[in-house]
Amino acid sequence: MTNDAGRARPFLAEIEHLVIAGWTGRDAAAVEAHIAELERLGVKRPKTAPIFYRVAASLLTAAPLIEVAGPASSGEVEPVMLSLADGLWVGVGSDHTDRAAEAVGVTLSKQMCAKPISAALWRYDEVAPHWDALVLRSWATIGGARRLYQEGAVAALRPPAELMARYAAPKSVLAPGTAMFCGTLPVHGGIEPAERFEIELEDPVLRRRLSHAYAIRPLPVEG
């Protein structure tokens, strides 16, 4: 079936490999400054920038609710590349991450939370010619108040073709059955947990949007 945003299809079963690309900003100086900032908070410097974290494909979900361990996790909006049997597709996702675990190990923190994604997708070849015009947004509902959490053009991130080439070298294309989160934008204000998170990828050229929203249910930490 289809909708105004794109094509909805049961793609989750096709994904066998899930990759989270980190430190994907095009401005190398800004990336280095942020790495240094996080180092002061106890988060270890990545081995490379960009870096590619492999996590369980079963974490990918289009469900309207995720459950997390404790109150210290938060989402971040990202474009998502998906290599399916019929070609490359684009979705919008949230690299929901446990921030307390991040200081222990980024790989560990990436593995601890579900990775929400939109049910609708766009064909990559429909947006590739005007990729830098796409806009990412997220909204966080915190204490019952909804606020804009992130907003900006994907032009701030390395192009997906470059990220796929770096990860999949020497083939330079994602193997079928692979999904890759392609990086995120700075937060307006501080990083905060929320009870609800909304994500959007806007295509102002073709006048359409991909979107997804999910609630977060913290589970008790008993030890």
91-117: buried (b, 16+ CB within 10 Å) or exposed (e) per residue? bbbbbbbbbebbeeebbebbbbbbbbb
Is 128 a residue whose pLDDT tops 50? yes
Options 3.10.20.30, 3.90.850.10, 3.40.50.2020, 3.40.190.10; CATH for 7-219 is: 3.90.850.10
pLDDT at 166: 95
Instruction: Locate all alpha helices (DSSP H) within 149-197, ordered by sequence.
Output: 160-168
Question: If pLDDT is split at 50, 70 and 90, which confidence band does 4 have?
Answer: low
Tokens of 39: 């180092």
Model pLDDT for residues 130-160, shown as the tens digit of each residue: 999 999 999 999 999 999 999 999 999 999 9
Alpha-carbon span 115 to 61, nearest angstrom: 6
Q: Do residues 44 and 38 make contact, with C-beta atoms less than 8 angstroms apart?
A: no
Model pLDDT for residues 71-115, shown as the tens digit of each residue: 999 999 999 999 999 999 999 999 999 988 988 888 999 999 999
> What's the predicted TM-score (pTM) here?
0.93
Q: Do residues 175 and 55 make contact, with C-beta atoms less than 8 angstroms apart?
A: no
Task: Tell me the β-bridge partners of 191.
Answer: none
